[in-house]
Amino acid sequence: MRPRTAFSLGLLLCVALGVGAAPAAAQTWTLYGPVAEGSQIDALRGPNDHIHLVSSRYYQLDTAGTVLVDEAQGDAQQGSLDFPPALAVGSDGSAHLVTRQGGDWDNGHDIRYRRRTGAGAWDRDYTFGTPARRNYVVAAAWAGASAVYVSQSEALGNDVWGDLHLFSAGATSAAAVGDLSGLWRADTDMRMRGGGSRVYLVSGKVDPDGRVYFSWADAGAGLLADLTSHLVEHTGGTGRRGFPDLYVDATGQVHVTYGAQHEVYYQRYSATGQPQLASDVRVFDGLGDWHLSTGLSAVAAGDDGDTVVAVAIRSDGTSSISNGALQWAYSRDGGQTWSAPADLGWTTNAGEGRRRPRLVAVGQTFCLLFGDNAASGISLATVVLPADADGDGYGADVDCDDQNSAVHPGAPELCNGVDDDCDGTTDEGCPGPDGGVAVDAAPGADAGPAPDAASGADAAIPGDGAPGSDGGGGHGGASSGCACDSRRGGDVPRGAGWLVVLVVAALWRRGRSAFAQALLR
């Protein structure tokens, strides 16, 4: 068959059968611009769905960037090459700050703890530990009203390797819990977060063949022993591994991203610290060279526990990534598969990895807090990814029937009175009332609801359908022309489409239709 004949026959098949790539509604990020002063931050969701943020000041925000609380309680170490302060938020609404004051990297800083009660009173304020070399990496975790833990780093001697010192924060002082050795190296950070009555920790050593570590512990006297015995190494990719991020979602699951050479990897843990994926999944690659060339990321998960968003920074080739491009990707199945990464359209100064963005999820609204190079201070951008109730890889924003996994953008259209592919039309290619073929019929009373309209502005969603499954992200679907494929393993659409094809083929063979010959040439 000649190429023009094959193309024409393929076109006829697509029209007759009503099969094609269904357009999905585009979801976008909304940029609200600067919402806070400062450069180095930590941020968490509070029990009232406010976003708690500490930089040079302490803030509470809503998801539209409205400042609800602005108080002069912050961290003085706000240079681009400093490390961030730490924040913990309790289920009682209390906020716990760990900041640095005075000193320098070589002689150490005073490490300061402050508490703000749920009623808004600052009732605790003291320093803990002693100034030590490179004690600028700090963390905090809330695991109950009487179980608040804080930590600081220390490089031993003149080396870049060192220990993490753990403390239990009391009413007037912090009591030493003990040290974690061999998990940290200078020039990278660590995280601690609380979830229920547990504490979760991630740290990294950006050696040439580095490691990232995850652990968890129940609050109480056995904290240090648990953290030591539950330690898990992560070794995805190659090169210098480090710069992990940690997020505990509303279901109690724990989400971890970390960097390797030019890449970012993801793993999900149960509340009891059991890995949920057979191996770490690569989310970003090709992030480029800088001083350490380790992937830099942030992660958060929606309240459904399955919708996960990750952000990474693509290097501009400078040693500190002073103008790195922000990228994002998302997963609808708990991190098993990811969308193709896409540029957000904004750049940031990563400060040698010390100034990474933060992601916070409030319900299914994902809030990105970052230093935008086009503005001063800390900017906020958000995207809403509704939960995927039927597990077909599409949320309610694009799925016209999120209670039926057989109905979603890209599904084959069947002759069943349902808009199976969510393109706004019903039973394309099926017999009409007069026995003819209905093509792109307008939805009638028996049609499924039209897909939701897109919302927001500024940066589009990666891809246009369900997440891909290649570990590095990517959507399926046709790139151009007619996508005559069935995504249900070879189902044959019913209706008059096949009759049209057979009639035209018969006319061609018998040479009785100039129309058919012209069409198939």
The full DSSP string for 459-485 is: EEPSSSSS--SSSS----S-SSS----
Kindly state which CATH superfamily the domain 28-384 is placed in: YVTN repeat-like/Quinoprotein amine dehydrogenase (2.130.10.10)
Q: Which of 95, 87, 97, 80 is nearest to 40 (CA)?
A: 80
Measure the CA–CA gap between 480 and 73, rounded to whole angstroms: 55
CB atoms within 10 A of CB 376: 12
Structure tokens at 152: 């600081």
pLDDT band at 451 (very low <50, low <70, confident <90, very high): very low
Domain boundaries of the chain, sorted by first residue:
28-384
Measure the CA–CA gap between 65 and 209, rounded to whole angstroms: 41
pLDDT band at 272 (very low <50, low <70, confident <90, very high): very high
Q: Which of 237, 248, 239 is nearest to 214 (CA)?
A: 248
Order of strands across the sheet with 211-218?
191-195, 198-205, 211-218, 232-234
337 contacts 323 by C-beta, under 8 angstroms: no
Q: What is the dihedral of CA 347, 351, 353, 359, to 10 degrees?
A: -50
Q: Which of 76, 58, 75, 55 is nearest to 67 (CA)?
A: 58
Q: Which of 63, 52, 27 is nearest to 363 (CA)?
A: 63
% pLDDT > 70, the chain = 78
Is the pLDDT at 458 greater than 60? The verdict is: no
Least confident range of 51-65, 305-319, 496-510 = 496-510
Helix (H/G/I), strand (E/B), else coil: 46: coil
This prediction has a pTM of 0.78
pLDDT of residue 82: 87
pLDDT of residue 394: 83
Q: Which of 78, 60, 76, 57 is nearest to 68 (CA)?
A: 60
421 contacts 372 by C-beta, under 8 angstroms: no
Is the pLDDT at 449 greater than 60? The verdict is: no
Structure tokens at 143: 């695991």
Least confident range of 52-61, 266-275, 318-327, 480-489 = 480-489
